[in-house]
Structure 1
Amino acid sequence: MPGIVVDDQAERRVRKPADLLRLVIDGAWLAVFTGVGLVATATASGAETDLASAGKHLPGVLLTLLRITSGLALLILPVALAVRQFAHRQPRRLAEAVGTSAAMFGLVVAANALLRLPAAAHFYAALTVTRNGATHTAPLDGYLAAFAAYVTVMDLGGRPRWRAAVWLTVGAYAITSLVAIHATALSLAITLLLGHTVGVAVRYAAGLPSQRPPAGEIAEALRSAGLPVTAMSRAPHARGTSRAYTAATAGGEHLDVAVFDRDQEAAGALYRIYRLVRLRSQVSRGVPLSLEHAVERSALLSYAMADAVVATPRLRAAVRVGPDATALAHDHCAGTTLADLASPPDDAQLHRVWETVLRMHTHGVTHRALTADRILLTHGGGVVLLDPANGDVAASDLQRRLDLAQLLAELALLVGAERAARIAIEEVGAAKLVAVLPLLQPVALYRTTRAALRGQREVLPDLRARLAAAAPAGEVPPVRLERVRPRTLVSLVAGVAVAYVLAGQLARVDIAALIRHSDPRWIALALVLSALTYAAAATSLTGFVLERLKFVRTLLAQLAASFVTLVTPVAVGGAALNIRYLQRNGVSPAKATASVGAAQVIAFVLHMLLLVIFAAITGAAQIHSLRPPVWVYYVLAGLVVLVLAAIAVPRGRRLLRARLVPTLGQVLPRLLELAQSPRRLAAGLGGALALTAAYVLCLEACVHALGATVPITAVAVVYLTGSALGSAAPTPGGLGAVEVALSAGLTAAGLDNGTALSSVLLFRLLTFWLPVPVGWFAFTHLQRKQAL
């Protein structure tokens, strides 16, 4: 362009993040409709019947017209779109659309063949119409799926007339198919979703022709805003924008130009949506899905930082460049970022960084991305905060503390935990940093900081320890940052799956008849044995704690654990509650964790020893073969493969060491201390053995209550195996895993399926469900007494 020197690297094709978001959404809807076909067949059939009945009220002439029109349109529209692509000289996109539609048709043909297999009979029945003598030879419509894929690859965004024509055609075709009972609503929905999903996937993988304005047009737009740009050069990195340029003006000024292109709308949306769902609203960032929203936020934070008298690149102009791009021009700040310094910053520089951030906070503004590459030291000794678009205006106290936690972690990575903690204490004060201490967790930090901490795992614990040592005496207040933890989500999904499986099992069992025909004497004995498990657990915990505990209160804590395990996995909820209970009773956090860890390690070792012993006794006595079902071998083989794979991979070995070494480092010293007190060690071991014995005898009593008999050694093997599987399951209280494992074990020991399942249900009723109300009362009582 005349008068402007341009150095640009224009992209010929670009991938749109919005397509990736659409792909994920389509996948989620496919999963939903597939679930409807597998689970709610009756509901889908009822909806289909209602739609067909409603369609019969339409005039016959209208239905015939719709059928003919939609059939012709499905043939004519692809040809018309092909002509349009040739007219716009886009043969590559046309070839991609034709190839995708052909592949989609073949995929549907293969899917229809698979759906006719006996294993998919239930889903096949949900997709086809078989009543009133009507037949439907294919559950999925190959041509409709190919049409959907073809149109999707063409990308009709911004062309409302073409989109309206496509929607009207598909709608008319769907109505006539439903009324004529040629297809089900579920079949049509899955067909269209499959076509759209494959089309979006191809469109994202291949990219779309770039419609971005070149650097010359951007320079002309900046000139119209009063900035006489004479040169534009593409910058290598663009944080949070599509493109970045450096520009020079006729007056010798240098500018940093950030360009927001519409084709990059929703960039990073999946990650931010994940964070928004997982974290509380003040911790996670918003999701700027539109170009206008992203530009307005960036400009707003620039003005807010300037009003807070915090050095940041001054916004000189914000201009539209055509219909699909906006450019923001900022003054270029000369200097070196902390990440590019040849040596770590000195104390004076770190103090200036803290002073700048604290001054920003006094004006209610946060940055929320205080990384080393966004903190710039000028040649005059000043501090400039770059790229403030992630920040907050009118920030809350929590958001300011999150900013401080981010700065602390970033500086600790840069200069070490000792210097970072010392400078922070000098600037902020140890008393105020107590509120920041619980926020020093990876989930609260910026993405690049979390990635760096994964390579230096000792930095964050060291930083926390130094700040805690300098803080005034007292308990650090906990802060809940997460709405939903990944472990909770896994437990929820597993719980739903287990509930579905158990519902099918319970449908085959008459609970009323089970109770009516059970022997009440054996049930009473089983109930007593269930109660004894809590006394044994209290004895075991008391034995592994050198400090003095009240037995009754410890017993109540074990009852409270039965309530907690209703919503947490077995190995997690009870341990956390016991640690909290010990801390409330004067045991230091380190010793409380070590005591509970020692109890769990000893219990695990005893569990495995007893399993080996009873399995050997059962085999030597030639009791029932105890052959487990075939699926057990597959599960065990899968677990062995996973363990070996984890050990074979360096990252897996590091993960195992990271989990095991700290635990053993706490447990072994505690066991050495307990060895000096044989009485307490005997109480701990005796309680653990009594706990296992009470559960085994309780299961045996439940079997006898139903009039069946199984050797006690076989019951012990079954219980020990089922309990181990239940502890490893991610479901609350091992729900589902315990029932399936115990039922399979008792069946292998010689009981029929109905009696085995009934015995297990009775056992779980007495040991898992009945204690829950009592556990809730114990939990609330201990909370009122501040013992939890």
Structure 2
Amino acid sequence: MRVDGRDITVSGDLLQPLHRRTNDILRLLIATVVLAIIVMSSLVTRQDWVALEESISDILGVLTPAQSNLVYLVYGLAIVALPFVILIGLIATRQFKLLGAYAAAGLIAILALSITSNGIAAPQWHLDLSERLNTTLSQFLDDPRWIAMLAAVLTVSGPWVPARWRRWWWTLLLAFVPIHLVVSAVVPARSLLGLSAGWFVGALTVLVVGTPALEVPLAAAVRALGRRGCTVSELRVVRPAGPGPLLMSAFCTDGNGPAVVEMYGPNQRIGGALRQLWRYLTLRNDETAPLQTSMRRAVEHRALMAIAIGDLELSNTTTMAVAALDRGWTLYAHTDADGEPLTAAVPVDVPWRALRALHGHQISHGDLRAGAITIVDGKAVFGGFGHAEYGASDAQLQSDVAQLLLTTTALHGAQAAVAAASAAFGADTVLTASRRLSKSAMPQRLRKSVSDAKAVMSTARDEVKRHTGAERIQAETVTRFSRSQLVQLVLLVALVYVAYPFISTVPAFFAELSSANWWWALLGLAVSALRYVGAASALWACALEKVSLLNLTIMQVAATFAATTTPAGVGGLALSTRFLQKSGLGTLRATAAVALQQSVQVITHVTLLIFFAAFAGASANLERFVPSATVLYLIGGAALGVVGAFLFIPKARRWLATAVRPRLSEVAHDLAELAREPKRLALIVIGCATSTLGAALALWASVEAFGGDTSFVTVTVVTMIGGTLASAAPTPGGVGAVEAALIGGLAAFGVPAAVAVPSVLLYRVLTCWLPVFIGWPVMRWLTRNDMI
């Protein structure tokens, strides 16, 4: 390369030939949204759309017929010639690799809009000059397939051609809207559909084939370095541009060491802006730095921080040049990092003393990986500064301490790292900062810099607790919404979803309540409360009586809320496990206790179902509950297919062997151990039976409240069948499936619909909806008291 009469050697690949930019992804997302909006609006407001266009056309359509024909003629010729002009432009710029993408995008756009209910309708384009020329050209102007093809090839060729050409071509294509209105012709909605569909196809094609590398203004970079006293003789590419900047080594003729040149391209602006915006939306204000308005401002901030920290003699680099170059590029040049890398051979207190000096001037670093710290003459100095802040907040300073705790623990061990941190900052500061030793608070770049970051953070927290005498360390909440708040929000949305079908039946249900016997309803409410005592007793025995039975009973009310608002009741199981963990049980022990309780619950439920079904079968016909032979064959075939798939697919077979089999073995072992303890087994079985029979008693009392006449045995069978459906139904809490099963079951045993429907609704109010609405504040109370 020759710059200002000097030959400069350039070695290495400057840019990757093709890469997918952030704006390519954004273009596809925006095109998808625009296409969806146009499709929905054309379907919903088709008549209003046509009427609006006709009214606008009447206002703007001021041209005479002769003028309209002339405009149509000129514009039609331009639109017909446009794709060929684009093709010639690509050939003229020698973009031969793009011709395949050009043709594919055009054909896909035409094909997508040619699909009809009768198959694929071929375009009827022709140039019959025996007709009027403007009439011949109108077939292209009014055909959405031609508009879609133009939009697709324009989008594909845009990144490869000069911006001036691209702007003129898009202006010419989009001009069909005002031209249609001016000549008093309605703009067809299908033409806008063609425009949006073509843009979507083109954006998708660009994302698949990639976009070209931009020309790098190396000459401008060399001149910028020359103005700062570095006469460049050679440039060597260390890393091509991609997700990060173009990284080069510049060798100066004055004999000094090579300069590190970082060049940020215009394609990195959107990615950096989106990352800043995401951090701003997800993290609290004191966790985020002020938003940078441009890539140049972000680079300037990094260079200025290097100068400020260099004045404290704590920087291992010196800023040489920052400059805005042609074509949207930004240059940042600095000296190579001084010193030796930070290793385990360096005393652990060295980096902590340097960080204490940095914090003494209210400066945070924000990226304290081992690679960002070097040792010069026995003193630690820093590099990077991409996340450094002057006048840092307390949260940013605490984050620095946590980051260095992670780094030094990985190098020297937890005991030495915590002792050095306490000596530099004090035990209280280290204890506060250790709250950030979590996955959410520790940046991903720090977690990736050490092996097994999760174990290292856990070891460091344990050592901080031992060193400071703290009983526990509560993780710092760095996001705007905590995990528990998000879970509660999801549960509330699910609650609204599952409650909506019930709300529509409320008026009729309240009308029936006037004839109900309230004493039976109160009895149903009382016996339904026994379910929580029974479930809590069973889980208490499964947990080896190591938790509070009273708190466990209260937790069962909150578990009802969580179970009702999640499919198959998984929320209740997760809440029970979390409660046991917070009560002092280990993760494995808590999970095993919940699994054991659920296993005994299933066994007890099935046993009671068989017993009561056999008892009821002596006096009632249960054949209506048995599926037909065809359904049984289908279920059996599907089950065999699932088993065969798990046996023949290697990944599924490994999952069974590594994930499912050990858990089943653990549950079987716990059941065998439980069989050797009759008192504990009896308590668990009685608790599980109480939970099942309490629901049956509540339904029986509800039936009696509305004057029903049926036996407790038959109601128990119906209740247990409804409970089985609730666990299998995909809706949260089994809403819909349970009601239908219970009403149908009662009707099968001769209960009239006028009694069965309000009885089931009352039963669901007593056993489902009242506990759900009470469970929400109970769950909040448990959260405030750190029980879940």
Displacement of 1:313: 1.2
Structure 2 residues not aligned, in runs of 5+: 122-141
Whole-Å separation in 2 of the counterparts to 1:140 and 1:704 = 70
CA contact (8 A) 2:600 2:684 kept: no
**Residue of structure 1 equivalent to 2:103:** 98
Displacement of 1:612: 3.8
Aligned counterparts, 1:633-644, within 5 A: none
Whole-Å separation in 1 of the counterparts to 2:653 and 2:240 = 32
Name the aligned partner's letter for residue 59 of structure 2: L
Which secondary structure does the structure 2 equivalent of 1:434 belong to?
helix
Displacement of 1:305: 2.8
**Does the C-alpha gap of structure 1 residues 742 and 477 become closer, same or farther in structure 2, counting only changes over 3 Å?**
same
Whole-Å separation in 1 of the counterparts to 2:605 and 2:75 = 68
Aligned counterparts, 1:555-704, within 5 A: 555-559=553-557, 571-572=570-571, 576=575, 589-591=583-585, 597=591, 599-613=593-607, 616=610, 622-627=622-627, 648=651, 656=659, 683=683, 685-698=685-698
CA contact (8 A) 1:94 1:154 kept: no
Larger CA deviation: 712-721 vs 279-288: 279-288
1:616-655 C-alpha deviation (Å, 9 max, x unpaired) = 5588755434549999999989997998899937996899
Q: How many residues align?
A: 734
Whole-Å separation in 1 of the counterparts to 2:638 and 2:305 = 54
CA contact (8 A) 1:541 1:599 kept: yes
**Residue of structure 2 equivalent to 1:767:** 767
Name the aligned partner's letter for residue 345 of structure 2: D
**Residue of structure 1 equivalent to 2:133:** none
CA contact (8 A) 1:101 1:150 kept: yes
CA contact (8 A) 2:57 2:182 kept: no
Name the aligned partner's letter for residue 732 of structure 2: G
1:433-483 C-alpha deviation (Å, 9 max, x unpaired) = 221233211232232443467856533323322222222334534422334
Larger CA deviation: 63-72 vs 327-336: 63-72
Displacement of 1:328: 0.9
Correspondent of 2:265 among 261, 266, 273: 261
Correspondent of 1:162 among 164, 168, 175: 168
**Residue of structure 2 equivalent to 1:364:** 362
Name the aligned partner's letter for residue 366 of structure 1: S
Whole-Å separation in 1 of the counterparts to 2:491 and 2:784 = 33
Which secondary structure does the structure 1 equivalent of 2:624 belong to?
coil
**Residue of structure 2 equivalent to 1:345:** 344
**Residue of structure 2 equivalent to 1:520:** 516
**Does the C-alpha gap of structure 1 residues 784 and 488 become closer, same or farther in structure 2, counting only changes over 3 Å?**
closer
1:696-739 C-alpha deviation (Å, 9 max, x unpaired) = 4445666787879894465354344345457xx7xxxxx63621
**Does the C-alpha gap of structure 1 residues 46 and 683 become closer, same or farther in structure 2, counting only changes over 3 Å?**
farther
1:506-537 C-alpha deviation (Å, 9 max, x unpaired) = 69x64423443477346555434433333434
Aligned counterparts, 1:415-426, within 5 A: 415-426=412-423
Aligned counterparts, 1:148-227, within 5 A: 148-155=151-158, 158-159=163-164, 161-162=167-168, 165-166=171-172, 168-169=174-175, 171-172=177-178, 180=186, 182-183=188-189, 188=192, 191-213=194-216, 215=218, 217-227=220-230
Whole-Å separation in 1 of the counterparts to 2:586 and 2:695 = 26
**Residue of structure 2 equivalent to 1:129:** none
Whole-Å separation in 1 of the counterparts to 2:649 and 2:277 = 30
Whole-Å separation in 1 of the counterparts to 2:35 and 2:603 = 44
**Does the C-alpha gap of structure 1 residues 295 and 747 become closer, same or farther in structure 2, counting only changes over 3 Å?**
farther
**Residue of structure 1 equivalent to 2:430:** 433
1:353-389 C-alpha deviation (Å, 9 max, x unpaired) = 22222322232322222223322334x3333322221
CA contact (8 A) 1:51 1:179 kept: no
Which secondary structure does the structure 2 equivalent of 1:257 belong to?
strand
1:519-563 C-alpha deviation (Å, 9 max, x unpaired) = 734655543443333343454465547468484x66555445556
**Residue of structure 1 equivalent to 2:139:** none
CA contact (8 A) 2:38 2:192 kept: no
Displacement of 1:41: 6.7
Name the aligned partner's letter for residue 175 of structure 2: T
Whole-Å separation in 2 of the counterparts to 1:407 and 1:494 = 38
Say whether 1:395 aligns with 2:389. Answer: no
Name the aligned partner's letter for residue 298 of structure 2: A
Which secondary structure does the structure 2 equivalent of 1:329 belong to?
strand
Whole-Å separation in 1 of the counterparts to 2:185 and 2:266 = 42
**Residue of structure 2 equivalent to 1:742:** 738
Structure 1 residues not aligned, in runs of 5+: 117-138, 339-343, 730-734
Whole-Å separation in 1 of the counterparts to 2:183 and 2:424 = 72
CA contact (8 A) 1:235 1:245 kept: yes
Whole-Å separation in 2 of the counterparts to 1:671 and 1:355 = 58
Which secondary structure does the structure 2 equivalent of 1:319 belong to?
strand
**Residue of structure 2 equivalent to 1:333:** 337
CA contact (8 A) 1:351 1:423 kept: yes
Give the alignment's TM-score, normalised by structure 2.
0.75
CA contact (8 A) 1:313 1:333 kept: yes
**Residue of structure 1 equivalent to 2:463:** 466
Name the aligned partner's letter for residue 768 of structure 1: C
Which secondary structure does the structure 2 equivalent of 1:235 belong to?
strand
**Residue of structure 1 equivalent to 2:138:** none
Displacement of 1:261: 1.2
Whole-Å separation in 2 of the counterparts to 1:270 and 1:644 = 45
Whole-Å separation in 2 of the counterparts to 1:592 and 1:178 = 77
The percent identity for this pair of structures is: 23
Whole-Å separation in 1 of the counterparts to 2:657 and 2:428 = 36
Whole-Å separation in 1 of the counterparts to 2:526 and 2:53 = 60
**Residue of structure 2 equivalent to 1:55:** 56
Say whether 1:412 aligns with 2:402. Answer: no
Give the alignment's TM-score, normalised by structure 1.
0.75
Say whether 1:385 aligns with 2:363. Answer: no
Name the aligned partner's letter for residue 103 of structure 2: V
Say whether 1:480 aligns with 2:477. Answer: yes
Correspondent of 2:372 among 362, 371, 374: 374
Aligned counterparts, 1:312-323, within 5 A: 312-323=316-327
- RMSD over aligned CA atoms reads 5.3
Correspondent of 2:145 among 142, 146, 151: 142
Say whether 1:21 aligns with 2:25. Answer: yes
CA contact (8 A) 2:410 2:450 kept: yes
CA contact (8 A) 2:605 2:689 kept: no
Whole-Å separation in 2 of the counterparts to 1:9 and 1:510 = 70
Name the aligned partner's letter for residue 242 of structure 1: P
**Residue of structure 2 equivalent to 1:131:** none
CA contact (8 A) 2:19 2:212 kept: no
Displacement of 1:603: 2.5
Displacement of 1:311: 1.6
Whole-Å separation in 1 of the counterparts to 2:525 and 2:561 = 17
Displacement of 1:260: 0.8
Name the aligned partner's letter for residue 17 of structure 1: R
CA contact (8 A) 1:212 1:324 kept: no
**Does the C-alpha gap of structure 1 residues 554 and 466 become closer, same or farther in structure 2, counting only changes over 3 Å?**
same
**Does the C-alpha gap of structure 1 residues 478 and 689 become closer, same or farther in structure 2, counting only changes over 3 Å?**
farther
Whole-Å separation in 1 of the counterparts to 2:243 and 2:471 = 41
**Does the C-alpha gap of structure 1 residues 173 and 678 become closer, same or farther in structure 2, counting only changes over 3 Å?**
farther
**Does the C-alpha gap of structure 1 residues 369 and 210 become closer, same or farther in structure 2, counting only changes over 3 Å?**
same
CA contact (8 A) 2:224 2:321 kept: no
Which of 1 and 2 has greater Rg? 2
Displacement of 1:679: 6.5
CA contact (8 A) 1:374 1:385 kept: yes
Larger CA deviation: 413-422 vs 323-332: 413-422
Larger CA deviation: 63-72 vs 464-473: 63-72
CA contact (8 A) 1:370 1:410 kept: yes
Whole-Å separation in 2 of the counterparts to 1:636 and 1:485 = 41
1:330-351 C-alpha deviation (Å, 9 max, x unpaired) = 011244434xxxxx51351x32
Whole-Å separation in 2 of the counterparts to 1:701 and 1:594 = 40
**Does the C-alpha gap of structure 1 residues 576 and 152 become closer, same or farther in structure 2, counting only changes over 3 Å?**
same
Which secondary structure does the structure 2 equivalent of 1:443 belong to?
coil
